[in-house]
Amino acid sequence: MTTWSTRRRAVAGFLMPFLLLYAAFFILPIGYAVYQSLLKTERSGPLGLGGSRRVFAGLSNYASALTDPGFVDSILRVLVFAAVQVPLMITLATALALLLDSASARGVPLFRGAYFLPYGVPGVIASILWGFLYIPGVSPIVDILGKTGIQADFLGSGTVLWSVANIVTWEFAGYNMLVVVAQLKAIDSDLYEAARIDGANAWQVVRHVKLPLIRPAIVLTTVFTIIGSLQLFAEPLVLRPISTAINTSYTPNLAAYTQAFVNNNYGLAAAQAVILAIVACVFSFGFLRLTGQRGDKR
């Protein structure tokens, strides 16, 4: 009886510090965002100079967010971005991991290090670097392309989203590759031996042994890439001064940031943050559900 209660106290002692902080900094802010999103500021007196107070606004903040063409565009923009970025990222990360894992590869630690290096560069600094590589007059890339007769414009309205995609790919492809590599390393070497005895060639080993077994890693990196793509913020913010194509509501996060800190409209900003979180949850849970079910059928 005493051991049972000491163990219960131990569980509480081990868990409580984390759970309290988790409640304070994960659960409470979500509740507070929902609460704020239902409020608006009402001004009283002539010309609204008599002071202001927060009053219940129902769903009006959600209505104005969803009827604002700029915000709706920003959601659609990150969805289009994710539709391209996610497959590109996962394909590249998986391809790099498989290349490094193949018998033909040489200098593996060196290459792996080179690919993973950008993960240590903060997104804003990566964006500053690539920004210099995009601006005509500074960029050696634009220079070289110009000499061959190609007028490259990385910052125009049709191209800048993909210039952002390039920055994001550069930053995180190596990290995602590492997750896949970790799973490849965990594959039992007997399986390769068995496949070899069965006469499988290198491609067949990839197709029928490696790819099925690294599926959990691919699912994990896909979910993180979906979430990351939808909350795009730092890269467009840093490129904004050099690209006229990026406005203050270019992505949902940029829109919410502008509402909160430029327009001081916390209610609307909170509603936009909640909408973005819901979209992110729908897509990440949806993807997990989809892949989970397929796994059951096998």
Q: Work out how close the CB of 254 gets to another protein at its nearest, in angstroms, rounded to a whole number.
A: 10
Q: Considering the complex, state which of residue 90 and residue 230 has its C-beta at the smaller distance from another protein.
A: 230
Using an 8 Å Cβ cutoff, are 202 and 63 in contact?
no
Q: Is 198 in the site for another protein (CB under 8 A)?
A: no
The amino acid sitting at 56 is F
Give the residue carrying structure tokens 């009886």. 1
Q: For residue 286, how far is the Cα from the chain centroid?
A: 16
Distance CA 184, CA 201 (A): 18
Q: Which amino acid is at 36?
A: Q
Is residue 196 close enough to count as binding another protein by CB under 8 A? yes
The site that binds another protein (CB under 8 A) totals a number of residues, namely 109
Minimum Å gap between C-beta 286 and another protein is 11
Please give the angle made by the CA atoms of 211, 216 and 222, to the nearest 5 degrees.
95
Q: Which stretch binds another protein (CB under 8 A): 40-48, 67-75, 149-157, 249-257?
A: 249-257
Contacting range for another protein; rule: CB under 8 A; set: 42-50, 51-59, 78-86, 128-136: 128-136
| 3-state SS, residue 41 | strand
Sign of CA pseudo-dihedral 271, 274, 280, 284: negative
Instruction: Single out the segment in contact with another protein by CB under 8 A; choices: 13-21, 46-54, 55-63, 153-161.
Output: 13-21
Among 152, 209, 219, 245, binds another protein (CB under 8 A): 219
Phi, psi of 42 (to 5 degrees): -115, 130
140 is a site residue for another protein (CB under 8 A)? yes
Residues 59-98 as x/- pattern, contact with another protein by CB under 8 A: -------------------------------------x--
